[in-house]
């Protein structure tokens, strides 16, 4: 896709190689996912459990697109640090305060990459006896072994390092309204 003139300004001068998903395409898919989730969970307590920091933009839009009562909480796990590849060392930095027992828990993730962080967190959450446990990810690179709990995916993602719409590189670029590959 063509890189708009303001993209260079928005990244502080760091070139964007390409825009992978435009703002409007993301918004339309998030609305569709909200409808899918609304239909999949017609009753019971629904908890959206966002993985910070990357999921915060997606989760805010998704929560507004789901047309039923829900609760929101967050977890913080880290496996990247300042690099562009996962270190494989997953650290849980913040554990949710919400009681998960008997609730439909939907983990909201920005991107499924290696799947290591997600698999570790799902094991931890399953032990807390939710009524159901699923994953909703904006992006899936399709390089991880299949994870049965992944129920909703916005887009298949190319194997590039991408930023924007909550995704970062060393805490930068989360503010971009689109998903882009850095140049």
State which residues form the domain around 79. Answer: 5-182
| Domain harbouring 51, CATH code | 3.40.50.2020
Query: What is the arrangement of strands in the sheet containing 132-140, beginning at the earlier edge strand?
Result: 91-94, 71-78, 46-52, 104-112, 132-140, 150-156
Cβ contacts of 100 within 8 Å, gap of 6 or more: 47, 125, 128, 129, 130
User: Which pLDDT score is estimated for 11?
Assistant: 62
User: Which pLDDT score is estimated for 97?
Assistant: 80
User: Which pLDDT score is estimated for 82?
Assistant: 53
pLDDT, tens digit, for every residue of 19-70? 999 999 999 999 999 999 999 999 999 999 999 999 999 999 999 999 999 9
Is 113 one of the catalytic residues?
yes
User: Which pLDDT score is estimated for 2?
Assistant: 57
User: Which pLDDT score is estimated for 85?
Assistant: 52
Ranges of residues in the chain with a pLDDT under 70 are 1-14, 78-91
Q: Which of 45, 61, 113, 140 is catalytic?
A: 113
Give me the helix-helix angle, 56-65 and 23-40, nearest 10°: 60
Contact call for residues 46 and 71 (beta carbons, < 8 A): yes
Tally of structural domains, the chain: 1
R_g of the chain computed on alpha carbons: 16
User: Which pLDDT score is estimated for 1?
Assistant: 52
How far apart CA 51 and CA 27 sit, in angstroms, is: 20
């Amino acid at each position: 896709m063509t890189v708009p003139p303001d993209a260079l300004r928005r990244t502080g001068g760091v070139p964007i190689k390409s825009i992978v998903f435009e703002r409007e395409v993301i918004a339309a898919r998030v609305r569709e996912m909200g409808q899918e989730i609304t239909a999949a969970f017609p009753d019971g307590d629904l908890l959206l459990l966002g993985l910070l920091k990357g999921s915060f933009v997606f989760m805010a839009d998704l929560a507004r697109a789901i047309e039923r009562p829900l609760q929101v909480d967050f977890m913080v796990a880290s496996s990247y640090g300042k690099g562009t590849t996962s270190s494989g060392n997953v650290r849980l930095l913040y554990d949710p305060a919400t009681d998960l027992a008997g609730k439909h828990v939907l983990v909201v993730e920005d991107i499924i990459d290696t799947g290591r962080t997600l698999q570790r967190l799902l094991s931890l959450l399953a032990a807390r006896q939710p009524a159901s446990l699923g994953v909703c990810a904006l992006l899936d690179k399709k390089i991880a072994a299949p994870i049965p709990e992944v129920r909703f995916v916005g887009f298949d993602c190319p194997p590039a390092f991408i930023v924007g719409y909550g995704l970062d590189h060393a805490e930068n670029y989360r503010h971009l309204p689109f998903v882009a590959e850095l140049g």
